[in-house]
Structure 1
Amino acid sequence: MTVGVRISTHLFGRVRKYNELDLYVPPNANQCTPLLVFIHGGAWRSEDKADHAQLAMYLAVQGYTVAVVNYRLSLRNHPHEQPEVQHPDHIDDILDAIHYLIQTPPRSAVYDTTNIHLIGHSCGAHMAMMIILDPASCLKSIRGVIGADGIYDIPLLLQTFPDYTDFIEQAFGTDTSQFVHASPISKFAQHRLPPVLIVHSLEDSLVDLGQAKVMLQHLLSLDAKVQLDTSARGDHYDMLKTPEFIRAVKRFV
């Protein structure tokens, strides 16, 4: 453990483990400290907040309070059945976590409830972008969003990686006509969007740069303040551990 960083776990929903978040509070945190909310990836069906403890520590050392959020996963009870949890259940859980952090901040937490930045990795970036583009879930406390090696256009992803059909159908169902509607590139927000940073490693073998480019162009068409940063190196998961990614986050926030 990094000296001085306090870690605590909190339940924000009804399902223990899946509706929990870990808070990392640096020793110098105060009521003006930005809160970074990290949304993990894992194709909507895997990973856990504990997998990103090292990244949360790195960010907390930079002086930010960090919340790493779990959400319900799209898991099959039987091989040929669709999971009970499907889109937009994952997003609903993330929204519950954000509302919890804003409205009932835990006693162990020290941060500015009006200065929140979302950081989403892979499918977590999909969820972060869907949240800011949805007028119904527009939250003034969200001051910025960072998408890391994200998925933003599901039909385009399947054109590039046909083998991904299994996990996409597991999370979104088998009606392919709905895939575009479940993609951030199909959303046209009428409200003012917070600044967005799209980070993508050119060495990522699981999600290609085309996803970042199409999201960049869509946000520009909405007059959003958006940047594309390709300085981080490493494959899909390794890029989160690079100094370049940490620096990109720090510059943006």
Structure 2
Amino acid sequence: MDIVRLADLQYARVDDPQRKYDFYIPVDEPSKFPDGMREADLPVIIFVHGGAWRSEDKHDHRKLAEELARRTHACVAVPNYRLSPRTPPLHHPAHAEDVLTFLTHLHDVGCEFVRDIFSRSRWYLVGHSCSAHMIASIVLNSDGTTPSLAPPARVLDAIRGVAFSEGIYDIDLLLARWPDYGRWFIHDAFGEREEYSAVSIARYPLRKPGTRWLLMHSCEDELVDPGQTKAMGAHLQEIHADQEAVTIDIGGPTEKHDDVLKGEYYLRSVSRFVLDIERE
């Protein structure tokens, strides 16, 4: 199977490299692309990169995106978002607002070249580290603190599954374990506060039932401790009537924080998560 990559597509109204995305399409017969695929209606995996709200780029994850597309026969979209620090300061929820702008763009407009290839109702959001916080701020109900992250109903309804690895969910809990993270990246991303309970997504209620969740965490993670995933998993299980909607996998991956994404366990788990839901 070949993977066609469309790079540096614009999703915002301004021409900003940090507000562009790459789109990957699995193609069995490249000679038929694109005309022979316009009614394929493929599911979409949307991978949002981590990097402590301050680093990384969509291009860093090309191999991961291609492998996910190959294993699931789904399209894969990888957006950038604005990073902190910058001048003037860029604080939460701006990074997540970019992700929501991208999701809305992809649903309503998409890339003109392939807009009929992918489904608008079978989406899987995949986040790592800080992007787990951003995605959950959109999927869960953060209206009490960040109403700008409320997705249109059509976007929310498209999301069938959410998969996180090495996620950051509770900023106060993170700083209690790693106090230096305040100066390193939390103050740049959220501003200096006495406490961060308002942006703890491990307290947000559901926007709607029906979404499936997969939370993974390596016990060898040297940057984010498994307590983050334990807290988020317990919260998700509490707010879901269907306990089977939430899968918590602590200790399955065995790599360091960023190396988790390169491991076979991660690729197999995320691919199986998507394919199992697709078969339902």
TM-score, length-normalised on structure 1?
A: 0.92
SS of corresponding position for 2:124: strand
Choose from 163, 167, 182 the match for 1:150: 167
How far 1:251 sits from its partner (Å)?
A: 1.4
1:245 aligns with 2:246: no
Check whether the contact 1:128–1:147 (CA below 8 A) recurs between aligned residues. Answer: no
The corresponding residue for 2:218 is: 201
Q: 1:211 is matched with which residue?
A: 228
**1:192 CA displacement:** 1.6
- Which residue in the other structure is 1:75 paired with? 85
Q: What SS is found at the alignment partner of 1:113?
A: strand
Shift of 1:190: 4.8
Which residue matches 2:92?
87
Deviation (angstroms), 1:168: 0.4
Q: Distance in 2 between matches of 1:48 and 1:105?
A: 20
Q: How many Å separate the matches in 1 of 2:15 and 2:227?
A: 36
Matched residues in 2 for 1:190 and 1:246: separation?
Answer: 28
TM-score by length of 2: 0.83
Matched, 1:174 2:192: yes
Give the C-alpha shift of residue 54 in structure 1. Answer: 1.0
Of 31, 35, 52, the residue aligned with 2:61 is: 52
- Structure 2 SS opposite 1:151: coil
Deviation per residue, 1:197-223 (Å, 9 max, x gap): 001112111011100000000001101
**Partner in structure 1 of residue 119 of structure 2:** 112
Partners of 2:210 and 2:134 in 1: how far apart? 15
Amino acid at match of 1:243: E
Answer yes or no: is 1:221 the counterpart of 2:245.
no
Instruction: Give the counterpart letter for 1:86 in structure 2.
Output: H
Counterparts of 1:12 and 1:121, CA distance in 2? 21
Conserved? CA contact 2:139–2:207, under 8 Å = no
Moved more, 18-27 or 221-230: 221-230
Query: What letter corresponds to residue 219 of structure 2 in structure 1?
Result: L
Q: SS state of the match for residue 34, structure 1? A: strand
1:189 matched to 2:206? The reply is: yes
**In structure 2, which of residues 2, 5, 25 is the aligned counterpart of residue 4 of structure 1?**
2
1:185 to 1:74, Cα distance in 2 relative to 1, 3 A: same
Distance 2:218 2:187 in 1: 26
Distance 1:37 1:108, change over 3 A: same
Question: Secondary structure at 2:131's aligned position in 1?
Answer: helix
Deviations 1:28-72 (A, max 9, x none): 476332100011111101111011111011111111210011001
CA-atom RMSD in angstroms: 1.6
Amino acid at match of 1:130: S
1:228 alignment partner AA: I
**Uncovered stretches (5+) of structure 1, i.e. residues with no partner:** 78-82
Query: In structure 1, what is the Cα distance between the partners aligned to 2:96 and 2:15?
Result: 15
Measured in 2, the distance between the counterparts of 1:23 and 1:72 equals 18
Gapped regions of structure 2 (runs ≥ 5): 29-36, 144-149, 275-280
Change (3 A) 1:15 1:44: farther
- Report SS of the residue matched to 1:162: coil
Matched, 1:123 2:133: no
Decide whether the 8 Å contact of 2:69 with 2:76 is kept in 1.
Answer: yes
How many residues were matched structurally? 245
User: CA–CA distance in 2 between the matches of 1:190 and 1:149?
Assistant: 23
Structure 1 consecutive aligned stretches of length 4 or more whose deviation exceeds 4 Å: none
| Structure 1 residues 108 and 25: CA distance shift in structure 2, 3 A | farther
Aligned to 1:80: none
Question: What does the per-residue CA deviation read over 1:76-104, in whole Å, with 9 as the maximum and x for residues that have no partner?
Answer: 44xxxxx5211000111000111111111
